[in-house]
Chain A
Amino acid sequence: MKIHLKIWRQQDAKTKGKLVDYMLDQVDHHMSFLEMMDTLNEQLIVKGEMPVEFDHDCREGICGTCGMMINGQAHGPVPGLTACQLHMREFEDGATIYVEPFRAKAFPVKRDLKVDRSSFDRIIQAGGFITASTGQPAEANTLLITHESAESAFDSAACIGCGACVATCKNSSAALFTSAKISHLAKLPQGEKEAAKRVLKMVSRMDEEGFGHCSNTEACEVECPQGISVLNIARMNWEYTKANLLKD
């Protein structure tokens, strides 16, 4: 396959970036998208140019490291996939592909397609945990959790923290990410105790980090590689209102 790439190149957060054209003419359609990027980088390095920096690690869709806008869509055109699981068979021979970083005020560009997502860690630090120090817990089967509750908590907990939801949202909102953690923990009896405190702190940290308000377009769910549901956002809003109403 022949592929025409238009890739965002940017030296660092302060420098202005631009789209640069690259041509690849021996792309195998079995290649993953990132393997195609590896091939490009090999060619650039040997020519003495700087390779395109992009984030990636596990290359099996679970670590949440990779993330880029491919033809304007987070992780590319196929629903339910991360960029590392996308394969070149999804593109036509001769296609032009635009590759850009996840863009959001709270995700400053480090270089090229690499962005700083440490704001997500800080949202979790604000309260995305259960206070259970090592050694304290009681025997696991003393706490019964129905099959349905465990499965539903898992559905929320499956978020990989890639940031596709933020990059997709026209307000750059982190509502889906934040709400997934709030819901995961609130749905379980272990997490209920701190639910009110958690939601207030996490939502307030989300705002402080510069993420926008939920735009209610539900685009985040569509682009989420893990299929995290927007019902989590509804849950977060409910938990938030409840916590505020019952406060003191």
Chain B
Amino acid sequence: MELDAKIPAGPLENKWSHYKAQAKLVNPANRKKLPVIVVGTGLAGASAAASLAEQGYPVTSFCFQDSARRAHSVAAQGGVNAAKNYQNDGDSVYRMFYDTLKGGDFRAREANVYRLAECSLNLIDQAVAQGVPFAREYGGYLSNRSFGGVQVSRTFYARGQTGQQLLLGAYQALMRQVSLGKVILYSRHEMLDLVVVEGKAKGIISRNLDTGVIERFAAEAVVVATGGFGKIYYLSTLAMGCNGSAIWRAHKRGALMACPSWTQIHPTSLPQSGDYQSKLTLMSESLRNDGRIWVPKLANEERAANDIPEQERDYYLERRYPSFGNLAPRDISSRAAKERIDAGFGVGAQKNAVYLDFSKAIKEQGKDKIKEKYGNLFSMYKKITADDAYIAPMKISPAAHFSMGGLWVDYELMTTIPGLFAIGEANFADHGANRLGANSLLQACVDGYFILPYTLANYLSGELKKDKITVEHPEFERVEKEVVTQLNELCQIKGTKTADYFHKKLGKLLYDKCGLSRSKTGLTEAIAGIKTLRAEFYKELIVPGSAAEINGELEKAGRIADYLEIAELMCHDALSREESCGAHFREEYQTADGEALRDDKNYCYVSAWEWAGIDAAPVLHPEPLEFEFIKLSVRSYS
């Protein structure tokens, strides 16, 4: 299989406008004949569904949550980037493009990244028009702050709830289309399979989570906007329901997965406190604007943070990366934290955390100013830990957060199955091997509002004259049967171990062997371990009740069945890449200072994987990354 990314020719800054000028259109009268399915109602899904419906396509939208407003984009805290240069500090589309590409350790496509930066300008306009209450200066102009990996202030924010406010904007736009009858929204519906007819995506099979009823839906194109699968690590910053099932099932129907092992481990989450723990709460990266990260210089330090004098504190990020300091990118900050914790300098009851200290900022700016900037984060911290971060430093720790990997898509956001599009975190495209802070909200919105509406039309224009496929087609019946069989199988194992038992075991295994650092030995062991766990799962799982009713345990079991397969592909992916880049850190490939050692000669490509069956090794299809406009350099933040 030859992968064609379909990058338009011409100068970088003209590629997208050139594409838009050349893309085929669908006449407004014909759009109503071309139904589209959008799975997921987070920022990518809701913005896409609303924008497509506004244009006149009949949209059917799905989410597993009880309301579209609850999709996990809601939890993003810190902000959204845009190259507006309102601060007059040297920002530009090119600068943002370069920062993002470099932040991703030069493992993304130039053209995609440039388009992301270019479209960032419009996104802020769109969000303001929808009523997103971004932070403002006293005179009324929009305010900005700074995020990791950059030297300008280009992050727009709504206190620590930027994701919530952007999502509500998209959700309200979606609700408007629902009220106009342009979108039919099915909440509490989970996509359980993709239906491919004659090589093209033509529909999905879903399960109504309130009744257990299995339903078929046909359309001329299917858009998956189902987010990331970082919950595979069990302990993560993601919501309990976040999962990889929609993209995985599409993968098994022929869509390639790209770089699935590239997971962002976020440096500023709350540490684990016990085995019963179900999630790790994130503390926004924006805190690193004013918070200083340190550990004691003395290993196994017993004194409380405030009793440790200044000269006995190791501000290791400021020490190792003086020009970026506490705002070093996430992969680097997380690894640096792990290095200190593993060396015995960790703090807290479990010695698994580092300090994030605001005392200097409070002294310089006053408590009120800090409260205004981060008040809700400080109160969230207090709610969870019962500690007051105005008095003593926060304790933070790395946690699985974002999937850079996902379904492989071309410049048009189409997967290797014609008619199947993947947008937002569900795809692999713009972030390379490490995502910069405040670029995920951006990518989700830009894909949904500004890119997909053009590229989908280009595809749909070719479907207009074709015969319509309905849910009566035998392929729908065949796929539906497979779905029903799997659900019943899971219910009938009747073992003794719950779905969470397997999820926790898998998560630990993956975090240890395919997390912040990876090695050939560890990954080989992990693959064997996952196979054993998978066999045990199909022998020992217990799911109470039946598939014909509300059954939260069955939902979990289906998702974990998929995780047990995704995990294996992640390990293959990490094993095959014998270099370190971004979040992918192979212990064998590092500099003398412990920094990532990239190998541009042999690994300057995107690893796209083809499913070859449960017992076969996945097949690698490399998509070479060509850099026409920038020169690859060592990613240095020191």
* Interface of A toward B, CB cutoff 8 Å: 28, 30-32, 34-35, 38-39, 42, 44-46, 48-51, 53, 55-65, 78, 80-81, 85, 87, 89, 110-111, 114, 116-118, 120-121, 124-126, 128-141, 143-147, 149-151, 153-154, 157-158, 160-161, 184-185, 188, 190-191
In the complex the two chains form, is B240's CB within 8 Å of A188's CB? Answer: no
Closest chain-A Cβ to B46's Cβ sits at a distance in Å of: 11
Please give, as numbers and ranges, the residues of chain A lying within 8 Å of B240 by CB-CB distance.
Answer: 56-59
A117 to B72 CA separation, bound complex (whole angstroms)? 18
Please give, as numbers and ranges, the residues of chain B lying within 8 Å of A124 by CB-CB distance.
Answer: 69, 171-172, 175
A238 to B545 CA separation, bound complex (whole angstroms)? 51
Taking the complex as formed, is B97 at the interface, i.e. its CB lies under 8 A from any CB of chain A? no
From B48, which residue of chain A is reached at the shortest CB distance? A134
Please give, as numbers and ranges, the residues of chain A lying within 8 Å of B187 by CB-CB distance.
Answer: 118, 121
Closest chain-A Cβ to B421's Cβ sits at a distance in Å of: 17
Please give, as numbers and ranges, the residues of chain B lying within 8 Å of A185 by CB-CB distance.
Answer: 131
Please give, as numbers and ranges, the residues of chain B lying within 8 Å of A126 by CB-CB distance.
Answer: 179
A131 to B176 CA separation, bound complex (whole angstroms)? 8
- Please report which residues of chain B, range 154-178, place their CB below 8 angstroms from some CB of chain A when the two chains form the complex: 158-159, 161, 164-165, 168, 171-173, 175-176, 178
B164 CB contact (under 8 Å) in A49, A62, A138: A62
Closest chain-B Cβ to A14's Cβ sits at a distance in Å of: 13
In the complex the two chains form, is A63's CB within 8 Å of B129's CB? Answer: no
30 contacts between A and B (CB under 8 A): A30-B273, A30-B274, A32-B278, A35-B278, A42-B498, A45-B542, A45-B553, A48-B544, A49-B544, A50-B544, A51-B553, A57-B240, A59-B240, A60-B380, A63-B70, A63-B72, A89-B386, A121-B67, A128-B175, A129-B173, A130-B129, A132-B173, A133-B54, A134-B173, A135-B450, A137-B125, A139-B125, A144-B139, A147-B135, A158-B164
In the complex the two chains form, is A134's CB within 8 Å of B51's CB? Answer: yes
A117 CB contact (under 8 Å) in B66, B278, B545: B66
In the complex the two chains form, is B140's CB within 8 Å of A55's CB? Answer: no
| Contact status of A65 and B129, CB under 8 A, knowing A39-B276, A45-B542, A56-B240 | no
Closest chain-B Cβ to A77's Cβ sits at a distance in Å of: 13
Please give, as numbers and ranges, the residues of chain A lying within 8 Å of B54 by CB-CB distance.
Answer: 133-134
A64 CB contact (under 8 Å) in B70, B141, B159, B176: B70
Closest chain-A Cβ to B569's Cβ sits at a distance in Å of: 26
In the complex the two chains form, is A59's CB within 8 Å of B278's CB? Answer: yes
A53 to B128 CA separation, bound complex (whole angstroms)? 39
Please give, as numbers and ranges, the residues of chain B lying within 8 Å of A85 by CB-CB distance.
Answer: 380, 383-384
**Most chain A CB within a 10 A radius of its CB, from B74, B125, B133:** B133
Please give, as numbers and ranges, the residues of chain A lying within 8 Å of B127 by CB-CB distance.
Answer: 140
Contact with A along B553-597 (1 / 0, CB 8 A): 100000000000000000000000000000000000000000000
Taking the complex as formed, is B629 at the interface, i.e. its CB lies under 8 A from any CB of chain A? no
Contact with A along B365-383 (1 / 0, CB 8 A): 0000000000000011001
Please give, as numbers and ranges, the residues of chain A lying within 8 Å of B168 by CB-CB distance.
Answer: 157
| Contact status of A144 and B384, CB under 8 A, knowing A63-B74, A64-B69, A134-B453 | no
Please give, as numbers and ranges, the residues of chain B lying within 8 Å of A46 by CB-CB distance.
Answer: 496-498, 542
In the complex the two chains form, is A31's CB within 8 Å of B130's CB? Answer: no
A35 to B122 CA separation, bound complex (whole angstroms)? 42
A134 to B545 CA separation, bound complex (whole angstroms)? 45
A30 to B277 CA separation, bound complex (whole angstroms)? 9
B552 CB contact (under 8 Å) in A53, A135, A150: A53
In the complex the two chains form, is A188's CB within 8 Å of B133's CB? Answer: yes
In the complex the two chains form, is B550's CB within 8 Å of A65's CB? Answer: no
A80 CB contact (under 8 Å) in B128, B137, B142, B383: B383
Closest chain-A Cβ to B491's Cβ sits at a distance in Å of: 12
Please give, as numbers and ranges, the residues of chain B lying within 8 Å of A118 by CB-CB distance.
Answer: 66-67, 187
A129 CB contact (under 8 Å) in B70, B128, B175, B379: B175
Please give, as numbers and ranges, the residues of chain B lying within 8 Å of A191 by CB-CB distance.
Answer: 131
In the complex the two chains form, is A157's CB within 8 Å of B133's CB? Answer: yes
Please give, as numbers and ranges, the residues of chain B lying within 8 Å of A51 by CB-CB distance.
Answer: 544, 552-553
Q: Report how many residues on chain B are interfacial, defined by Cβ distance under 8 Å.
A: 78
Supplied contacts A35-B277, A50-B544, A64-B69, 16 more A-B pairs, CB within 8 Å: A45-B542, A57-B65, A60-B281, A62-B164, A63-B70, A65-B70, A120-B67, A124-B69, A125-B175, A130-B172, A133-B54, A135-B450, A146-B136, A157-B165, A188-B131, A190-B130
A57 CB contact (under 8 Å) in B70, B138, B164, B497: B70
From B494, which residue of chain A is reached at the shortest CB distance? A48
In the complex the two chains form, is B175's CB within 8 Å of A134's CB? Answer: no
A215 to B618 CA separation, bound complex (whole angstroms)? 62
A58 CB contact (under 8 Å) in B72, B179, B274: B72
A49 to B544 CA separation, bound complex (whole angstroms)? 7
In the complex the two chains form, is B138's CB within 8 Å of A147's CB? Answer: yes
In the complex the two chains form, is A31's CB within 8 Å of B66's CB? Answer: no
Taking the complex as formed, is B529 at the interface, i.e. its CB lies under 8 A from any CB of chain A? no
| Contact status of A141 and B66, CB under 8 A, knowing A134-B47, A134-B51, A134-B453 | no
B135 CB contact (under 8 Å) in A55, A80, A150: A150
In the complex the two chains form, is B550's CB within 8 Å of A110's CB? Answer: yes
Please give, as numbers and ranges, the residues of chain B lying within 8 Å of A141 by CB-CB distance.
Answer: 84, 86, 141-142
In the complex the two chains form, is A42's CB within 8 Å of B500's CB? Answer: yes
Please give, as numbers and ranges, the residues of chain B lying within 8 Å of A158 by CB-CB distance.
Answer: 161, 164
The 5 closest A-B pairs by CB, nearest first: A144-B140, A137-B129, A129-B172, A132-B129, A125-B179
Closest chain-B Cβ to A181's Cβ sits at a distance in Å of: 8
Please give, as numbers and ranges, the residues of chain A lying within 8 Å of B171 by CB-CB distance.
Answer: 124
Please give, as numbers and ranges, the residues of chain A lying within 8 Å of B72 by CB-CB distance.
Answer: 57-58, 63
Please give, as numbers and ranges, the residues of chain B lying within 8 Å of A78 by CB-CB distance.
Answer: 383
In the complex the two chains form, is B276's CB within 8 Å of A150's CB? Answer: no
| Contact status of A136 and B129, CB under 8 A, knowing A53-B552, A150-B136 | yes
In the complex the two chains form, is B66's CB within 8 Å of A65's CB? Answer: yes
Taking the complex as formed, is B279 at the interface, i.e. its CB lies under 8 A from any CB of chain A? yes
In the complex the two chains form, is A55's CB within 8 Å of B131's CB? Answer: no
In the complex the two chains form, is B178's CB within 8 Å of A60's CB? Answer: no
Contact with A along B61-76 (1 / 0, CB 8 A): 0000111111010110
From A158, which residue of chain B is reached at the shortest CB distance? B161
In the complex the two chains form, is A35's CB within 8 Å of B276's CB? Answer: yes
From A112, which residue of chain B is reached at the shortest CB distance? B550
In the complex the two chains form, is B126's CB within 8 Å of A132's CB? Answer: yes
A36 to B609 CA separation, bound complex (whole angstroms)? 40
Please give, as numbers and ranges, the residues of chain B lying within 8 Å of A62 by CB-CB distance.
Answer: 74-75, 161, 164
Taking the complex as formed, is B608 at the interface, i.e. its CB lies under 8 A from any CB of chain A? no
| Contact status of A190 and B276, CB under 8 A, knowing A57-B70, A60-B282, A150-B135 | no
A12 to B159 CA separation, bound complex (whole angstroms)? 40
In the complex the two chains form, is A134's CB within 8 Å of B70's CB? Answer: no
Closest chain-B Cβ to A125's Cβ sits at a distance in Å of: 4
- Please report which residues of chain B, range 106-130, place their CB below 8 angstroms from some CB of chain A when the two chains form the complex: 122, 124-130
In the complex the two chains form, is A154's CB within 8 Å of B159's CB? Answer: yes
B276 CB contact (under 8 Å) in A31, A61, A111: A31
Contact with A along B81-99 (1 / 0, CB 8 A): 0001010000000000000
